[in-house]
Amino acid sequence: MQIKKIRDIIIMRINVDTAGNHTGYRYGNRCRFYKERLKYKMNNLAGRYLAAKRQLFDKYYSDLNPEQRRAVFTVNGPLLILAGAGSGKTTVLVRRIAYLIRYGNAYMSNKTPDDLTETGVKQLEEAALNMPREQLADILPEFIESPCPPYRVLAITFTNKAANEIKNRLEAEFNGEDISGIWAGTFHSICMKILRVYYKEAALGPDFSIYDTEDSKKAVSDAMKRLNIDEKTLPLKGVMNEISRSKDKLKGPDEYAGEAGNDFRKKQIARIYKEYQMALAASNALDFDDIIFKTVKLLHGNADVRQRYQSRFLYVNVDEFQDTNEAQFALTALLSGGYRNIMVVGDDDQSIYRFRGATIANILGFDKNYSNAEVIKLEQNYRSAGNILGAANGIISKNRGRRGKSLWTEKPDGELITVRELENENTEARFIVDTISRSVRMKKRKCRDFAVLYRTNAQSRVLESAFAKSGVPYRTLGSLRFFDRKEIRDIIAYLNIIVNHNDESRLKRIINEPKRKIGDKTIDEIARIARDGGIGMFDVIEHASRYEELSRSAAALSQFATLINQLTEISKTVPVAELIRRVSDMSGYRAMIIAGGDAERDRLENIDELISGALEYQKSNEEATLAGYLEEVALVSDVDKYDETADAAILMTIHSAKGLEFPVVFLPGMEDGIFPGMQTINSYDENDMEEERRLCYVAITRAKEKLFILCAHERTLWGRSGGNPPSRFISELPEQFLDRGSSEEKENQPEKAASRVYYSQKPVKTRKEDVLTVNRPVVKKQEPAEFSDVKEGDRVRHRIFGDGEVLSVRTMGADILYEIAFDTAGTKKLMGSYAKLNKI
DNA sequence: ATGGGGCTGCTTTTT
DNA sequence: GCAGCCCCAT
């Protein structure tokens, strides 16, 4: 296959096209163009008409800030919205889609009616001044300019949760009007929608299965066994990762092999990759990465299909762009290739998924890939109190690979951030629980106001038991997912076999579950015969008696085949929920659980829950099909079901907290070795530390009112006890936002620190400075007064933005917020303590 | 074929 | 510290 450098080709095309015959103007040109035109027409009717029109829209959208409005009104051409944490990103996305469906390009358009009259324009000007905002909706339709029908809008997100939120908020926005034509979904669900229609063109069978990580792990492991590659010499995890990253980069097995060169490990992986893909093809299955890979391949290689979607999607909107990988970037480029109205929102400072292939280059270089892209920054934060935001700005400013943004808020400073070192992980947990229960007892807050965010899931155990003991209601997110439970996976495997008899991974999973006296030997033999004969495993099973090698288990095998065939017949007549019931009965699965006695009780309940979930699916989908259900099950996680109304404190990893906000946030385990983790500390790639720092930034910006940063003097981790120095990230926080407890506590610190047993495996890495900062009680106060002689109207110089004029000076906590109109870099809001301003 | 006991090795996670 | 895997005994 020659999908060589799809990405390069796509990017090249973008550049060529945009440089050539794009409909828009470069923004700079457009600005100049505007000004000239406005100056010229200032006194004539058309100019006044346009000004009044824009005033009317600005007024109608006055619940948004000016940057947000610009993001809503800029609909044509490529647009990058850099949306800081808590800057109203989803609101903008939703309002923008609603705007282009209602008004099209009304605001930016320079068209004027031919029959303008003095009185008509006067009326508009009058309305812009005096008409109450609510009534403006009646006038605005007059300005509609090529509105976009809902079905021509595409909105892509990462999680189902985000997709649902967009859908729901849009529905509310249109309250009752039919906008169901909008394509809003995750990358994977969008791709599935395409692949289900054009499966033939994508060289897939009609009822292909989706392998989740667990399934593909098995398939890769099997492939390695077949190739006689030992998992001890080449760990499965690394192989999986390499294959997955390779697919992210749109590289198939052959290309991967081509690039392996003389690298033995890569050559091995290339063989596994190829074998794995062959197994997937034989099973008529795709893994998660393939869903996107194959779609990009299809759109790239098939002009008809490509054109079909390119001519359909007039506006393409991509959420969380900082988390896209190369394949996803290519997909968005292909889908938006028709009209090039592509808008991406994201925050480079919140990119925390590099480890799974996200490339921050997509957002950092968006305006290079799309040379005429406009860039809008949303920097006003509506979420966090001043001190929290100050700390967040402080820490993220230490990163180098960023576009540079500095958030500001109109909110008061609020409380200082509490930083505490506790004795050990148990006292740390108790501190959290006590703080919560005290606050709840005093009726200051509800339990659900509190969130505990940790770096690793391993930290949750101690926390959970502290919560359990105290009786403070709590919930943990992301422990064992419902669909990861064995019994659920088994039943789902049966359903997959019914749809796709040759799904090898699922077949292996349930062929002997419950026990049917079909052992591993037999299964391997079946797989081998199938492979040699180029037929499906199920075909072999169905005709087991034909093969001498299988004679011993032939009876059991044909019984199994009969079971599957019967269930397949049944599946054609009964709905999914009923089918699940039949599967669990006829397969003997239910009987097996019941035989297990009381210990297995909840497994039975889980199956019942699965059935009610299927009923739910039938209710909400008019065309409920088994294949559709399986797709939903494969692509939907139960994290989406995080119930924000339950009155319980919530415990989760920082990663899963992204996009959420809480009045009070605890960050336990802020220690070098945990956060940042040992791997990061020992890494020679400074990008690793930057990503860790971004994660810390995400953690801090989850808090609305109050933040606790905690570490333990001693900690038992992985069975060994020892201690970690407080996280280097704590010392990166500007001191003026922190409350480090009484001076007494501080004085005790050096001794404690001296007696510490460090985990550090590579003492080389523990540099002198680190130890010093740890041991010395940090009391250096930052001097915000340093620049306080800068006044409104002064000329100043900034390291990056150059020279500019100070528009306003405002105190924000112990810091000062400057608004500065830079000569070349535009108007920016900067915090005094980081801005490093020099008066000139 | 199956079940139990010992051994290893270990971020983060959505789809 | 514990989960998940491998190997061995039945």
Q: What is the pLDDT of residue A754?
A: 35
Does A18 or A296 have the greater pLDDT score? A296
Q: What is the pLDDT of residue A825?
A: 59
Annotation says A54 is catalytic: no
- Which of the 8 DSSP states describes residue A479? S
Q: What is the pLDDT of residue A10?
A: 46
Mean pLDDT of A628-638: 84
Instruction: Report chain A's mean pLDDT, rounded to a whole number.
Output: 83
> Which residue of the set A91, A159, A350, A359 is catalytic?
A350
Q: What is the pLDDT of residue A334?
A: 96
Spatial contact of A259 and A182, defined as CB atoms under 8 Å apart = no
Does A742 or A656 have the greater pLDDT score? A656
> Which residue of the set A319, A349, A632, A690 is catalytic?
A319
A718 touches strand C (CB under 7 A): yes
A45 — pLDDT class (breaks 50, 70, 90) = confident
Q: What is the pLDDT of residue A115?
A: 84
Q: Find the DSSP H helices in A314-459.
A: 326-335, 361-364, 366-369, 386-396, 425-441
Lowest mean pLDDT among A5-19, A286-300, A333-347, A737-751: A5-19
Q: What is the pLDDT of residue A265?
A: 87
Is residue A206 predicted with pLDDT exceeding 70?
A: yes
Window A226-285, strand C contacts by Cβ < 7 Å: 231
A763 touches strand C (CB under 7 A): no
Residues whose CB is less than 8 angstroms from the CB of residue A209 and which lie 6 or more positions away in sequence, other chains included: A283, A284, A285, A286, A496, A499, A500, A503, A506, A630
- Measured in angstroms, what separates residue A306's CA from nucleotide C5's C1'? 46
Spatial contact of A250 and A293, defined as CB atoms under 8 Å apart = yes
Does A132 or A757 have the greater pLDDT score? A132
Spatial contact of A492 and A561, defined as CB atoms under 8 Å apart = no
Q: What is the pLDDT of residue A604?
A: 85
What is the three-class DSSP state of A682? helix
In terms of DSSP bridges, do strands A802-812 and A795-798 run parallel, antiparallel, or are they unpaired? antiparallel
Distance between start and end Cα atoms, chain A: 61
Q: What is the pLDDT of residue A471?
A: 87
Find and give the residue nearest to B1, measured CA to C1'.
A519
Spatial contact of A729 and A675, defined as CB atoms under 8 Å apart = yes
Q: What is the pLDDT of residue A824?
A: 61
A748 — pLDDT class (breaks 50, 70, 90) = very low
List C-alpha distances in Å: A11 to A250, A330, A341, A554.
14, 8, 15, 56
Ranked by mean pLDDT, the top range of A13-17, A394-398, A778-782 is A394-398
Window A122-161, strand B contacts by Cβ < 7 Å: 158-161
- Cα A690 → chain centroid: 18
Q: Which nucleotides of C are covered by protein (CB under 7 A)?
A: 1-2, 6
Instruction: Kindly report, residue by residue over A368-378, the tens digit of the pLDDT.
Output: 889 889 999 99
Is residue A1 predicted with pLDDT exceeding 50?
A: no
Q: What is the pLDDT of residue A21?
A: 35
Instruction: Kindly report, residue by residue over A379-417, the tens digit of the pLDDT.
Output: 999 999 999 999 999 999 999 888 888 899 999 999 999
| DSSP string across A365-405 | THHHHSTT-EEEEE-B-SSS-HHHHHHHHHHHTT-SSS---
What is the three-class DSSP state of A832? helix
Q: What is the pLDDT of residue A170?
A: 94
Annotation says A320 is catalytic: yes
Report how far residue A302's alpha carbon sits from residue A465's, in angstroms, rounded to the nearest whole number.
Answer: 56
Nucleotide nearest to A652 (CA to C1'): B12
Lowest mean pLDDT among A258-262, A467-471, A498-502, A602-606: A602-606
Q: What is the pLDDT of residue A774?
A: 27
Report how far residue A258's alpha carbon sits from residue A254's, in angstroms, rounded to the nearest whole number.
Answer: 6
A8 — pLDDT class (breaks 50, 70, 90) = very low
- Measured in angstroms, what separates residue A255's CA from nucleotide C6's C1'? 35
- Measured in angstroms, what separates residue A497's CA from nucleotide B2's C1'? 25
Q: What is the pLDDT of residue A620?
A: 85
Spatial contact of A715 and A424, defined as CB atoms under 8 Å apart = yes
Q: What is the pLDDT of residue A447?
A: 93
Q: What is the pLDDT of residue A297?
A: 96
Is residue A591 predicted with pLDDT exceeding 80?
A: yes
Does A42 or A682 have the greater pLDDT score? A682
List C-alpha distances in Å: A736 to A381, A391, A740, A778.
20, 9, 10, 12
Mean pLDDT of A739-765: 43
In terms of DSSP bridges, do strands A315-318 and A342-346 run parallel, antiparallel, or are they unpaired? parallel
Count CA atoms closer than 13 A to A365's CA, side-chain side. Answer: 11
Look up residue A514 and give its amino acid.
P
Is residue A760 predicted with pLDDT exceeding 80?
A: no
Q: What is the pLDDT of residue A3?
A: 41
Report how far residue A165's alpha carbon sits from residue A646's, in angstroms, rounded to the nearest whole number.
Answer: 19
Nucleotide nearest to A232 (CA to C1'): B8
A497 — pLDDT class (breaks 50, 70, 90) = very high
Q: What is the pLDDT of residue A520?
A: 79
Report how far residue A291's alpha carbon sits from residue A701's, in angstroms, rounded to the nearest whole number.
Answer: 33
A662 — pLDDT class (breaks 50, 70, 90) = very high
Annotation says A702 is catalytic: yes
Q: What is the pLDDT of residue A768?
A: 25
A682 — pLDDT class (breaks 50, 70, 90) = confident
In terms of DSSP bridges, do strands A450-454 and A662-667 run parallel, antiparallel, or are they unpaired? parallel
List C-alpha distances in Å: A501 to A208, A313, A351, A496, A541.
10, 36, 40, 8, 10
Q: Is the pTM of this model over 0.85?
A: no
Window A83-122, strand C contacts by Cβ < 7 Å: none
A838 — pLDDT class (breaks 50, 70, 90) = low
Does A484 or A675 have the greater pLDDT score? A675
Q: What burial letters (b/e) apply to A293-324, b meaning 16+ CB within 10 Å?
A: bbbbbbbbeeeebbeebbeebbbbbbbbbbbb
Report how far residue A733's alpha carbon sits from residue A461's, in angstroms, rounded to the nearest whole number.
Answer: 28
Report how far residue A740's alpha carbon sits from residue A750's, in angstroms, rounded to the nearest whole number.
Answer: 14
Instruction: Kindly report, residue by residue over A96-140, the tens digit of the pLDDT.
Output: 999 999 999 999 999 888 888 889 999 999 998 889 988 898 899
Q: What is the pLDDT of residue A79?
A: 96
- Which of the 8 DSSP states describes residue A727? P
Q: What is the pLDDT of residue A639?
A: 57
A742 — pLDDT class (breaks 50, 70, 90) = low
Annotation says A319 is catalytic: yes
Q: What is the pLDDT of residue A175?
A: 87
Count CA atoms closer than 13 A to A766's CA, side-chain side. Answer: 18
Spatial contact of A143 and A59, defined as CB atoms under 8 Å apart = no
Q: Which nucleotides of B are covered by protein (CB under 7 A)?
A: 1-3, 9-15
Nucleotide nearest to A718 (CA to C1'): C1
Lowest mean pLDDT among A249-263, A722-736, A792-806: A792-806
Please give, one letter per residue, the 3-state secondary structure of A134-190.
HHHHHHHHHHCECCCCHHHEEEEECCHHHHHHHHHHHHHHHCCCCCCCCEEEEHHHH
Lowest mean pLDDT among A48-57, A59-68, A608-617: A608-617
Instruction: Kindly report, residue by residue over A557-578, the tens digit of the pLDDT.
Output: 889 999 999 999 999 999 999 9
- The CA radius of gyration of chain A, in Å to the nearest whole number, is 30
Annotation says A350 is catalytic: yes
